Amino acid sequence: MQDNQRTLRKEYIFEGKGLHSGKKVKMTLCPAPEGSGIRFLREDLGPDAVIEAVADYVTTTQRGTTLEKGEIRVSTAEHLLSAFSGMGVDNALVRLDSLEVPILDGSALPYVRAIAADGLQEQDAPRTYYSVKEEVTVEDPASGSRITISPAEDFSVDLTIDFNSHVLGVQEMHYDGTVDYASEVAPCRTFVFFHELEFLFNNNLIKGGDLENALVIVEKPVPDEVLSRMAALFNVEKVGVLPSGYLDNVRLHFPNECARHKLLDLLGDFSLIGTRMRGRVTARKSGHRINTDMARIVREMIKNNK
């Protein structure tokens, strides 16, 4: 049975704010023709301001994945791209009226719920796959990050995170065709360590962050005055720390939710290869930089028929 490409059945509109820019944005997900892949249209820059979601255009990867092509820039695209990948969307046009994809609840779940409600539209063209032919490793000795891809009949990921955190511990997540992306991966939210928050604010990041779209990990006891200052930054009355070591703004969906979110990010970043892949991925301490470095390498392997 032929495995055909798929697109959205209809348009979906999302409105929110960018995690880092804090700017309000309206985003419309639209069906697209077979073979067009995932593309972003910056409507605020004009009708031709289109950028393809491929690793060639990745620039910065600090706290998210940014694509740039000339003056066209799209930031924090990874959660949406992950939803497309996990739900099987091959072709879509994403229309934006600002530079950043809205953070919403910090996961891929809002997109998945919308798409799943209607299902996908099967198209006439077959899907394309790249089969990994030889083992390839990318690593960053400074951070200890490492990703290896090796030949396999199907796509799978074995992911481990280790932040030397007594709250998180060492977390693992396995993903393959038997794992339901919609329920097992999509709900998992982004996370940040409490001690990073003031630094991020002071460096003009997470302007759109709030206590509804992130897990906040607290490694050490925090004085009441510091908690009060954080509450003021997030414009809430007060915040506290749970015995589990997280701020009391949200509850975990899974004990290893942070590892699952790193998997969510990896799937989004790997979609920038531009085609589906057959191979086994082993990832340790992965992040946007090493994810997109590997995606770029795989694109080169495809171009060179390796």
Residues taking part in catalysis: 288
Q: CA 286 to CA 303: how far, in whole Å?
A: 25
Q: Which of 81, 260, 89 is nearest to 158 (CA)?
A: 260
CA angle, residues 55, 112, 158, in degrees to nearest 5 = 55
Amino acid at 272: L
DSSP strand pairing (191-193 vs 170-175): unpaired
CA distance 232 to 267: 35
Distance CA 277, CA 96 (A): 28
